[in-house]
Structure 1
Amino acid sequence: MIRIKRTNSDNGDFQELVKALDLELKLRDGEEHVFYAELNKTDRLQYAVVAYDQEEAVGCGAVREYSEGTMEVKRMFVPLSKRGHGIATAILTALEMWCRELNVNRCILETGRNQPEAIGLYLKNNYTIIPNFGKYVNSENSICFEKELLPDTLIYCQQKAAIC
């Protein structure tokens, strides 16, 4: 069973997973990686989660405040060898639950066109494509999403995620 641990960006397992994420994104994004790397710094992320299978860290994600009532999902990652087992959905569900507990009613995020697995994940989890926001407005490689977190989302999330 996957266990989700709430933490922050100082967590060593979170940092190791983000290093692996950055290596993968550097390959996928090519020359555009420098632009994205500047927007994906992990210092001072207050709301981060790490997914564990037994004692092995198998995924991570975070949210940060974007505006009042809106959090931005950041640094979602599951290593290639662990994909296809629902880990990313568990991470996303846990982040949404945390957002609801913080009285946040909307999540937004950006992902790259070169990340079809991520695009599929967000569509499967009821995120809708929106116009690019913030520093992604002029980025042709970016696809932005949003999800309104309804009041019943908290109950659903509690049923789907094992949080500690």
Structure 2
Amino acid sequence: MPVEFPGAAATGTRPVVEVRRVVIDDPLVEPLLRELTEEYVSRYGPEARQEMTRYPRDAFAEPAGLLLLLLEDGEPVAGGAYKRYDEHTAELKRMWTHSAHRRRGLARQVLAELERAARAAGYSRVLLTTGPRQPEARGLYLATGYTPLFDLSADPLTIGPLPFQKYLTS
């Protein structure tokens, strides 16, 4: 589904960003998996590679899960997924924005698309966890209405994973 990129009017351009539901084996997913793995390793060390193989490949498949990409001119620029956590809760995973396309609001758009899809799939709550060395992700989730399930005043590096939740409204 093509949508205009929010904020494009400020630059005078109107790139069209297509939202596409994909499966993990789609070749368009490869940049997401590769760059996200590199990002995790650069921030958390080589053992972070394990995160990318933690869940079965079908965990992000419909109807219980979803993997989506934002495409610009047919190329993936951002993406994310959710998987079933329980009957009422989806867990967001694999949030990614291509390094050349950051600071454009694409992660916020991915988040909104995932929330919309999770709500349509019958979920009423979303959980997610980010790492303590991802302050931009922490800021995004706080800015988009997620409730931190940790002490915000504590040093994130002393906490470990940073869990959030959000109740989805109709």
Same fold judged by TM-score > 0.5?
yes
Task: State the structure with more CA Rg.
Answer: 2
Match of 1:144 in 2: 163
Q: 8 Å contact 1:9–1:42 — kept in the other structure? A: no
> Which letter does structure 1 place at the counterpart of 2:33?
V
Q: Distance in 2 between matches of 1:70 and 1:105?
A: 6
Local SS of the residue matching 2:45 = helix
Match of 2:31 in 1: 16
Among residues 69, 75, 89, which one is paired with 1:56 in the alignment? 75
Q: Distance in 1 between matches of 2:46 and 2:26?
A: 29
Post-superposition shift, 1:16?
Answer: 2.5
For structure 1, list consecutive stretches of 5 or more residues without a partner in the other structure.
132-138, 152-164
Post-superposition shift, 1:36?
Answer: 3.5
Q: Distance in 1 between matches of 2:149 and 2:133?
A: 18
CA 1:52–1:31: 2 relative to 1, 3 Å = closer
Q: Which gives a bigger RCO, structure 1 or 2 (Cα 8 Å, sep 6+)? A: 1
Match of 2:139 in 1: 120
CA 1:4–1:80: 2 relative to 1, 3 Å = same
Among residues 25, 28, 33, which one is paired with 2:40 in the alignment? 25
Q: Distance in 1 between matches of 2:49 and 2:102?
A: 26
TM, length-normalised to structure 2: 0.77
For structure 2, list consecutive stretches of 5 or more residues without a partner in the other structure.
1-15, 151-157
Q: Distance in 1 between matches of 2:73 and 2:49?
A: 35
> Which letter does structure 2 place at the counterpart of 1:30?
G
Local SS of the residue matching 1:10 = coil
Q: Distance in 1 between matches of 2:91 and 2:68?
A: 14
Post-superposition shift, 1:31?
Answer: 5.6
Post-superposition shift, 1:106?
Answer: 0.4
Q: Distance in 2 between matches of 1:93 and 1:72?
A: 14
